[in-house]
Every structure is written in structure tokens, then in C-alpha cells.
């Protein structure tokens, strides 16, 4: 699953923040019917007018956090120094 960068709101996303084509990989369809969530486009709009936080630690989370930041899904972070260093290395 090399195309997978991370999961956000039950949707598996690639490095560009786009949902993977394969519908069988959508997590939300397997969750309890009482589970509710916002859609990705709503999250992006909220990010433009308010705070959307990403909390993560450990190096294996870096790819998903980077995707969420560059795709406009989050605009604030609480991360550890390992993720911070890895994110800095990804900046061109």
C-alpha cells in the first residue's frame, strides 16, 4: 500500500491529500452506524477560518502529518521532536 500516506476521518489518503480510488479501503463504512464525522471538504473549510489540530508522535506518523499540513486539512500541530525533525527534512 505504497500510495497510502495516512487516514483522516475514516478516509485513506495519498501524499497529496486525495482519497485513494479503492472504495474497499474506506474505513468509515466499517464503523458503527452511530459514528458521525465531518467530510474532508468541511474540515478544509474550517481550517481556513479556525484551528484544526494534528497531534502525533513517532517517526512513522510523519508522512501522514506532512500530507495533512500540505493539503490544508490541519493548521496547528502538537508533535514530538522526532516528527518535527522529519518534517523539516521534507521541506524543499
What are the pLDDT digits (tens) for 23-66? Answer: 544 555 555 555 567 788 889 999 999 999 999 999 999 999 99
User: In 3-state terms, what secondary structure has residue 30?
Assistant: helix
Q: State the pLDDT at residue 91.
A: 84
- Does residue 87 register a pLDDT over 60? yes
User: In 3-state terms, what secondary structure has residue 16?
Assistant: coil
Q: What is the DSSP letter of 91?
A: -
Q: State the pLDDT at residue 24.
A: 47
Query: Degrees (nearest 5) of the Cα angle 6, 77, 42?
Result: 65
Confidence of residue 22 (pLDDT cuts 50, 70, 90): low
Q: Cell 458503527: give the residue.
A: 32
Share of the chain above pLDDT 70, in %: 83
Number of H helices, E strands in the chain: 3, 4
Amino acid at each position: 500500500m505504497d500510495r497510502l500516506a495516512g487516514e483522516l476521518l475514516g478516509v485513506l489518503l495519498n501524499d497529496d491529500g486525495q482519497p485513494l480510488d479503492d472504495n474497499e479501503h474506506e474505513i468509515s463504512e466499517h464503523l458503527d452506524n452511530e459514528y458521525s464525522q465531518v467530510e474532508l471538504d468541511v474540515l478544509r473549510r474550517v481550517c481556513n477560518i479556525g484551528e484544526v489540530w494534528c497531534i502525533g508522535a513517532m517517526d512513522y506518523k510523519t508522512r501522514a502529518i506532512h500530507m495533512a499540513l500540505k493539503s490544508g486539512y490541519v493548521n496547528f500541530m502538537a508533535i514530538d521532536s522526532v516528527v518535527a525533525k522529519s518534517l523539516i527534512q521534507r521541506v524543499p
